[in-house]
């Protein structure tokens, strides 16, 4: 089983839709969780951290479920500019071990 798994997609959604991605991780000792965004042929950029209690940043909501070992990202009111690949990142051993998922591709359609 891969350490971090994501559905590669693509998720094709119309503008204004709500879309959610999950990311599962295999190591129960994982400590910190993040979502990064990567545009086509660009570098990854930190989107948001994921806290145990869940957290929100504008249209984006991140949740962590330690019991089932997954994190999720919800995007409300999708914009064309949200089209990108969303990478899930999991760390443990005090950030010494950082594992990226292979990403979920989102395409927002006009």
Partner 1 sequence: DTAVSQTPKYLVTQMGNDKSIKCEQNLGHDTMYWYKQDSKKFLKIMFSYNNKELIINETVPNRFSPKSPDKAHLNLHINSLELGDSAVYFCASSQDGVSKFFGPGTRLTVL
Rounded Cα–Cα distance for residues 94 and 13 (Å): 37
Site pattern 51..90 for partner 1 (x: CB under 8 A): ----------------------------------x-x---
Burial 60-85 (b: 16+ CB within 10 A, else e): bbbbbeeeeebbbbebeebeeebbbb
Tokens 């005090």: give the residue. Answer: 94
91-110 residues in contact with partner 1 (CB under 8 A) are: 91, 94-96, 98, 100, 102-103
Binding site for partner 1 (CB under 8 A): 32, 34, 42-46, 49, 85, 87, 91, 94-96, 98, 100, 102-103
């Amino acid at each position: 089983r891969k350490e971090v798994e994501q559905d590669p997609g693509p998720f094709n959604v119309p503008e204004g839709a709500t879309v959610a991605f999950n990311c599962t991780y295999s190591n129960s000792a994982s400590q910190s969780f993040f979502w990064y965004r990567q545009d086509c042929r660009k570098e990854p950029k930190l989107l948001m951290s994921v806290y145990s209690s869940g957290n929100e940043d504008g249209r984006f909501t991140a949740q962590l479920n330690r019991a089932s070992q997954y994190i999720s990202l919800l995007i409300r009111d999708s914009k064309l500019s949200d089209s990108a690949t969303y990478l899930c990142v999991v760390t443990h051993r005090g950030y010494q071990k950082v594992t990226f998922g292979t990403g979920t591709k989102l395409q927002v359609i006009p």
